[in-house]
Amino acid sequence: MSGHSKWSKVKHQKAVTDVARAGAFTKASRAITVAVRNGGGQTDPQFNFRLRLAIEKAREVNMPKANIERAIDRGGVSGDSIEEVVYEAYGPGASALLIATLSDNQKRTVAAVKNTLEHHRGKLATPGSVQFQFVLSGLVVLDSGPVPFDRLFSLAVDGGADDVTQSGDAVEIYTSPDRLSALKDSLEKQGITVDSTRLVMKPRVMINLNDEDRRNLEVLIDELEKHEDVDTVYTNVPGM
C-alpha cells in the first residue's frame, strides 16, 4: 500500500464492463452479508460500522439500492454459508501477499487461488508466516484539491491519523480501526470531502522488486482479483 495504491485511484477508474460489474456486485453483496452476520445481525449501518463501510464500497461500484437491501437481508439468514478466509502467500521476488476471500465454497476457492499462484510464480505460504508482516489499519482516501497538503496533514493528525501520504492529488490517511469513523467525521466537519474509507491490511515494511518481478506480480494480482471469491489482495510492494 502506498500513495500510488489502488485505493487512491477509486475516483479515476474507467467504466467497467458488464461482466466486471457483475463480479463487483457479487463481491460487494457478499461483503455486506458478512458484515451483517459478523455484526450480530445488526442491519443499521449507524450501529454497524463494518456494514457502513461495505455499503459505501457497494455504492462506489454503482450497485443498485435494491441489491444492497437484499444483501443486508441475507445477512440475517441463519443458513447463509458465506465464509471469510484470508490466505497467505508469496509472490514473485519473495513479495508477501494476503488474499482476502468471501466464498460459499472454500474448497473451490483455495483450489483456484493455489492454481493462480502456481501459474504466476507464487505459492501458498504456511499459516502465520505472512500475516504478521501486515497490520489491520483504517484508511481514508481523498483528493487534496485546492487544500494544501500541510493543512490536510494537520487536520488528519488532529483527527487521529497515524500516517499521511500523498501522490499527486491523492492523499491516503491511515489510522487505527477504532478511530477510522471519528477521523472521517472530523475531516468532513472541516469541509474536507472524503472519497472512501476502508479497513485494510497495511504492510509493516515495504519492499522493492526488479522490473520483471514487478510485472509478474501485477499480473498475478490482476488474475487473483478476477475471481469472484477474492475480495481484496494486499501486498508489501509499493504501487500495487
Q: What is the mean pLDDT of the chain?
A: 90
pLDDT band at 235 (very low <50, low <70, confident <90, very high): very high
Q: What are the distances in angstroms from CA 154 to CA 16, 73, 114, 162, 176?
A: 36, 41, 44, 11, 17
pLDDT band at 17 (very low <50, low <70, confident <90, very high): low
Residue 81, classed as helix, strand or coil, is coil
Q: What pLDDT, on the 0 to 100 scale, is given for residue 59?
A: 94
pLDDT exceeds cutoff 90 at 240 = no
Domains of the chain are 14-74 (1.10.10.200), 82-240 (3.30.70.980)
Residues 130-141, mean pLDDT to the nearest whole number: 97
Compute the distance between CA of residue 9 and CA of residue 226 in angstroms, rounded to an integer: 18
pLDDT digits (tens, 9 = 90+) for 149-191: 999 999 999 999 999 998 777 899 999 999 999 999 999 999 9
Check if the beta carbon of residue 237 is closer than 8 Å to that of residue 217: yes
Compute the distance between CA of residue 196 and CA of residue 16 in angstroms, rounded to an integer: 19
Residues 6+ apart with CB under 8 A from 123: 89, 90, 117
